[in-house]
Structure 1
């Protein structure tokens, strides 16, 4: 009787590895195509506001390059410095003003990103570093002369302000909407475009309050738990429920915060634009008789400031508002609070 024969697996000899510098022309072309497609997919996935902003930045760069006979794709450390100096002389958004430093910084960022993603330019690492240093020099010179550009940082909208705003909201659809929107804006540390993009289904009831889905964000989407407030007058959950019931909102895909008819003040089907969200915040503060002029960024900064005053950690605050965990912007907000707690003079004088 023949013994059982064990099958022998054939030995596979791997092909020799080809290093990237030895790729042939066809392989390089195929890889470049794959890279270009990947860049396009990521670029197309950006929020609409971000894409519009980058388009404006590139349009500004295009005008600069035409005015100075600089090749459009010559995005280099030197040309970016020239770009900053050119932008410094450009008019601001309001007549009689000059462009704000923050706007210039965004123009540089948008130009670099657009060159890389939209036009496939391979830029050196840190290509904008020299331009940003030049911008810092210009800002320092401006401050030494006592000049000011832009509106500066948005003032924080704090809990005491929320109390006054809530009390001053009239008992009609506009007042109910404004109260709910300002309180929710604060609770989720929202950006204007995030609040404007929210739909009914983005606010889900939960045993502890609401689960808010900030699905449209220029940085990253996030899920934000919004608990019931200890003070009913400024509770975002109760305010949201009151608005939803008063406006008879029942379409889960409809805007969460709606426009009101300018004459009849009835609820319309369309939602608010991001700029309109900021206008509501500004008007709410004025209605309450608060002398500070709040903007659409004030509730976001206000949440960060108020949470820090209650001792919350930066990581916890960052998670609520969708900041990067070690965001320099957020750290700057918190530093203003911490300067009184961590002060070298405490216990000295």
Structure 2
């Protein structure tokens, strides 16, 4: 009997996948097209206000390039520093003023984002860091010279203000809407665009209060628990219910914060725009005879301040308003309270 060699066949070994550096021109072109479509899809999904801001930022960069001869797509550390210095000399929103530092900071970030998203430019990581440092230097020089730019931080709208504002709201549809809007704005630490996007279904009744779904946010969508207030006159839950019933907001997909007819004051189908919500906040303060000029950001800053005064931790406050847990902006608001509550001189003098 003769020995025979037996070969046992097993499953085929998978082929080694091609490395990205070995892709042919057609494959690279197809992948770049897919990447471009993905970037555009995300850009198109941004809130309209964000898209408008980015368009303004890019228009500013385009003007800078036209005046200085910098190529439009040449985003480098050096050209962005030049951009900051150029913006620093530009006129501000009001006659006789110069561009505010916060506007320059936004122009800088908006330009980099637009270059990536819409022009397929791939600047190096941290390309705007040097320009940001230059802006900080200019701000320090400005402060040392006693110069001011911009409107500064929004004044906080506090509980005492809410009591006066609520009392000054009339009992008609406008008064009911304005009271409910400002109380809910305060309670959820909302941004103007978040409230403008609210639909009736975003406010869910529960035995303890309302679950407010701030699902449209350019920063952090969130669900906020709004309990019944201890004082009925400034309770956001009761105020929302009163407005909802008076305005017959029966369509769950309808806007929560409706426009009112300029002449007949009847409820219209359209919702308030973000700018209009800010106008309401300013108007209710004036109606109550409060000398502080509140803006659309005042309720958001106000709840942070008021909550801190009651001893709440930064993490709890951040969760309510959708701030990052260790947000520098939020920490700045809280420092205004902490400088008195945690002062080294307490008990010393």
State how far apart, in whole Å, the 1-side matches of 2:72 and 2:175 are.
50
- In 1, distance between residues paired with 2:31 and 2:337? 50
Alpha-carbon deviations, 1:178-213, whole Å to 9, x = none? 111000000111111111111111111111111111
- Matched residues in 1 for 2:316 and 2:130: separation? 34
Deviation at 1:324, TM superposition (A): 1.8
| Deviation digits for residues 271-325 of structure 1 (CA, Å, limit 9, x no counterpart) | 2111111111111111112121110000011111111122222222112111122
Residue equivalent to 2:211: 211
What SS does structure 2 have at the residue aligned with 1:124? coil
Q: CA deviation at 1:270?
A: 1.8
1:273 aligned residue: 273
**Cα distance, 1:220 vs structure 2:** 2.5
User: Using the alignment, how far apart are the partners of 1:253 and 1:28 within structure 2?
Assistant: 44
Structure 1 regions of 5+ residues with no counterpart?
1-7
Moved over 6 A (4+): none
1:142 to 2:152 alignment? no
Alpha-carbon displacement from aligned partner over 1:50-75 (angstroms, at most 9, x marks no partner): 11111111111111111111111011
Q: Aligned-pair RMSD on alpha carbons?
A: 1.6
Matches of 1:268 and 1:169, distance apart in 2: 20
**Is the CA contact (8 Å cut-off) linking 1:49 and 1:218 kept in structure 2?**
no
2:260 corresponds in structure 1 to 260
The Cα of 1:160 is off from its aligned counterpart by 1.0
Name the CA shift for 1:76/1:247 in 2 (closer, same or farther; >3 Å): same
Tell me how far apart the structure 2 counterparts of residues 133 and 17 of structure 1 sit (CA, whole Å): 44
Range that drifts further, 143-152 or 42-51:
42-51
Q: Does 1:160 align with 2:160?
A: yes
1:45-56 counterparts in 2 under 5 A? Answer: 45-56=45-56
Distance 1:311 1:120 in 2: 48
Matches within 5 A, 1:169-248: 169-248=169-248
TM-score (norm 2): 0.93
Consecutive unaligned residues of structure 2, counting only runs of 5 or more, are 1-7
Partner of 1:5: none
Show the 5 A alignment for 1:264-343. 264-343=264-343
Structure 2 CA distance, aligned partners of 1:157 and 1:13? Answer: 69
Local SS of the residue matching 2:210 = strand
SS in 1 for 2:34: helix
How many Å separate the matches in 1 of 2:159 and 2:269?
31
Cα distance, 1:268 vs. partner? Answer: 2.0
Q: Which moved more, 1:332-341 or 1:31-40?
A: 31-40
1:3 counterpart residue number = none
Partner of 1:29: 29
Q: Secondary structure at the match of 1:55?
A: helix
Query: Residues of 1 paired with 2:147 and 2:92: CA distance?
Result: 14
